[in-house]
Chain A
Amino acid sequence: METAIQTQGMENVTFDEEQRKRVASVDFRMVTFNLAGKEYGIDIMQVKEIVKSGRVTFVPNVPPFVIGVYNLRGEIIPIIDFRIFFNLGEHSRDRKEVENMIILTIENQILGVVVDEIAKVVGIQKASIQPPHPIFSDISIKYISGIVEHEEHLYVLLDVMRVFCEEAVTEDSWNSSISAQTNPHLSSFGKGAGFGDPQASAGRVGVGMSQVVQPAAPIQSAVAAAQTTEPVPPVVQTPPTPEPIVPDVHISTVELENETAATSDEAPASVAESSVDVNFDGSEFYSSLQQNVNFCVTEINVSWVRRQIVEWAGNGKKISSAEDAEEFLKDFYSPCTGNFWTKEYADVIFELLPDVDSKQISVWNIGCGSGQETFSLAAVLKRRYPNTRIRIYAQDSDLLKISSATMLYPSEDEAFSWMLDCTVPDIAGKPAFSEELREMILFEYHDCFNNTSLPMLDVIFCRDLISFLPEEKQKYMFEEFKSKLKPGGVLFLGENEVLDDSSAWEDKMEGENIAFIRK
C-alpha cells in the first residue's frame, strides 16, 4: 500500500517539490471508509484488523446500535453499527449479507464497527490535518479530531477514543491509552498464544498483518509522548495555523463559508427586530428579573423582554419585588402553561410534530411541573403516532409538583374534552387517564444541571425553562439538545423564546407557533 501511494505521488507532475517532501515523510496512517456517502478515517494505531463477515449473533437487551456479538478467532467481541450510532439513517439489514467490519482496540478492549465500505489505508503527514469544521460532517463535532485531504478526497478523522470513552478524555487517560497502544503486538500475541494451535497461528497472521501496516515511526512517537510529563494532546496534532495545502481544500472551505452565509440569511425575522435599537438600556430590568425570579435575559428571550420593558417604562413601572417580576412575565409564558392544553393549542402541536418512521419515539419533557403539559402532550402524540411505541421522559426538579403528577386526573372542563379519548372511568366513575397513556410517561425527579442517560430523542419539549437558567447553563442545555436530538427531530421552546443558531436548527412555523428542527 505504501509503495502504491508513493508511485502515484511521483507520477503526478503537478506536485511541487514541497508536496513531494510531504508525501515522502508519511507519519500518520489511517484506515479510510465510507459511511452514508462521506469518507472517514480512523487512526491505524487503533485498528486491529479488518473483517468481512455476516455472522453476527444478535444479543437482547443491548443499546440499539449494538447489532450483536462476533466470534473473532475465539474471542467474542461486540459489534456496533456506526450508521445507527451516529444516526445516519439505518439501512435494511439482510442476515446473509456480508458486513464490512473494522476491529478496533481501545484501551485493551476489542470491538468491531460496521461501516458501509472500507476503502484503503492512507498515509499522510500529521501536520496536514486541519481542525474540523462544524458543518462539514453529519457526525457530532466532538467526535472529530480533524479533516485531512489526500489525493483529492477529504477525509473526516474520527476520534474513536472520544467516541467510545466519552468521559475519559482527560490527560491521564490519554497517557495510559497511549502507553497501552504502544504494545499492541504484545497483547495480541498473548491472546493468540492462549488458544490451541490453529488459533495461535491465526493470531500470528493477525500480528503479521498489523506489523506490515503499522510503521515504526508512530510507535516511537507514541512512546515519546507517553513519557513526557506535559499534557499530551489527542493523537492528532493540529497545526497552530492551518494552511491549505492543496487548492481543492481551499475551494471547499470557501464553499462551506458561502453555505453558512446563505443559511444565515434565512435567520428568523425576530433577530432583525431585536437589533432595532442598539442603544437600548434595560440593565436595571435585567438585574431585577435575575434577582427576583432567576430570569436570565439572553439572546433567546431578549426581543420579548425589550418589548415588555418599553411598555413598562412607558407607564413608569419598575420591578422591585418577586410579585412585580411575575407580573412583568405574565405574558411571557406559553399558552396553557400549568394547565391542560386546549383543542386549538393541541392541534398546533400536532401539526408541528415531525414525521417519524421508526418503531419507537422518545420524547424529553423538561420542566413538566405537575404533569398537565405531559399528559396533554401524550394525548397529542398518541393521536399523531397511533402505531408507534411512545416514551416520554418527563422531568422536574420540584419534588412536590412531580410527585403529584403521577396521580393527575383529567380536567372535566369542556375546553379539554378532546382528551376524553384517552381516559377510562375509574372505580368512582370519574374519568381517569388510561393505563396506555400512563405507561407512555416516565415521571422523574431530576435536576437538569445533572447528567442523565437518555436515548436519542425525536422530540424535546422544553417550554419557558431555559430562560430561568443562568447563561452558561443555557448554552450547555442547547449543546445537550443538539447532541441528544436525532436529525429531523423537533425542539419546542416557549412561545416567546427564540433560537438563533441556523447552523444546527431550522425553523418550522405553524400559525404564530414555531418549532426548531435539528438539521
Chain B
Amino acid sequence: MRVEYINPFLEAANNILTEVLQTPIKRGEINLKSTATPVLGVAAFVGLAGDVEGRVLFDMSRITALKIASTMNNEQMTRIDDMVKSTITELANMIVGFAVTRLQENGFNFDLTPPAIIVGDNMEITNQRMEALVVPMVTPQGVVEINVAVRERL
C-alpha cells in the first residue's frame, strides 16, 4: 500500500475514536495481510474509488459494537438493532470521511461509497491480489480492527 495513504487513515481513526468515545485510544501493531482474515462479528464496509480501488473495513465483536454504540448514544444498548447498526455505520463514515478529506488535501483523489454494515458469525474476508493494512485500535470498549485494502489503478 502506498505510504502516503497510511497516515491519513491512522490519524482519522485516532482522532474520531478519541472524540466520540471521549477517551484516549491505543494503537496496536500495524501489519499486512493478504490471506483470508476472520471477521469478528460486526463489520462496517466502505468502498473507495478514484485514483485507487479498494475498501475499508471496520471490524469488531458484537460486544464491542454494543458498547461503542451505547457510549456514542449515551444510553444502554442490549442488542444489535437498527440504532446500533446505524451508529456503527456513522462511525465508519466519519473516520473514512476524515481520512479522505486529508488525502484530498495531499492531492489524492478518492471517492467513497455509502457504508454498509455486515453482521454474522464465522465470516471471513479475502482480498484477491490485494494486500490489506490491518490496524487494531484498542479502546476501553474493545478492539476495533481497521482493515484497509487499496491499490493504484494501473
Residues in chain A within 8 A of chain B (CB atoms): 61, 63, 167, 397, 399, 402-403, 405-406, 442-447, 449-453, 455
Contact = CB atoms under 8 A, between A and B. Distances in A.
Nearest to A444: B2
26 contacts: A61-B153, A63-B154, A167-B129, A399-B30, A403-B3, A403-B7, A406-B3, A442-B2, A442-B152, A443-B2, A443-B4, A444-B2, A444-B3, A445-B1, A445-B2, A446-B131, A447-B131, A449-B34, A450-B32, A450-B131, A451-B130, A452-B131, A453-B129, A453-B130, A453-B151, A453-B154
Contacts of B153: 61
Given A444-B3, A445-B133, A450 B34 contact: yes
Contact of B33 (A397, A406, A445, A450): A450
B123 interface: no
Contact of B128 (A167, A399, A447): A167
Nearest to B132: A450
Interface string B124-136: 0000111101000
A263 B130 CA distance: 38
Nearest to A407: B3
A407 to B, nearest CB: 10
B36 interface: no
Contacts, number: 52
Given A442-B152, A446-B32, A452 B129 contact: yes
B20 interface: no
A455 B1 contact: no
Contacts of B1: 444-446
Contact of B32 (A406, A443, A445): A445
Interface in B18-53: 30, 32-34
Contacts of B154: 63, 453, 455
A244 B1 CA distance: 50
Interface of B: 1-4, 6-7, 30, 32-34, 128-131, 133, 151-154
Contacts of A445: 1-3, 6, 32, 133
A78 to B, nearest CB: 16
Contacts of A443: 2-4
- The 10 A-B residue pairs whose C-beta atoms are closest, nearest first, are A450-B34, A443-B3, A450-B131, A447-B32, A453-B129, A451-B129, A451-B34, A445-B1, A402-B3, A444-B2
A397 B33 CA distance: 12
A145 B11 CA distance: 50
A338 to B, nearest CB: 18
B105 to A, nearest CB: 16
Given A446-B32, A453-B151, 5 more contacts: A397-B32, A399-B30, A443-B3, A450-B131, A451-B34
A253 B138 CA distance: 63
Nearest to A393: B152
Contacts of B151: 452-453
A488 to B, nearest CB: 21
Contacts of A446: 1, 32, 131
B17 to A, nearest CB: 20
A410 to B, nearest CB: 19
A417 B132 CA distance: 39
Contact of A406 (B4, B30, B34): B4
A452 B130 CA distance: 6
A29 to B, nearest CB: 33
A370 B1 CA distance: 16
A451 B131 CA distance: 7
A455 B7 CA distance: 26
A118 B26 CA distance: 64
Nearest to B151: A453
A309 to B, nearest CB: 35
Contacts of A402: 3
A278 B133 CA distance: 46
A403 B30 CA distance: 13
Nearest to A454: B154
A397 B3 CA distance: 11
Nearest to A399: B30
Interface centre among B2, B7, B33, B128 (most CB of A within 10 A): B2
B32 A403 contact: no
Nearest to B6: A445
Contacts of B4: 406, 443
A193 B41 CA distance: 46
A167 B2 CA distance: 24
A353 B32 CA distance: 32
Contacts of B7: 403
Contacts of A452: 129, 131, 151
Contacts of B129: 167, 451-453
A310 B34 CA distance: 41
B8 to A, nearest CB: 13
Nearest to A397: B32
A450 B36 CA distance: 12
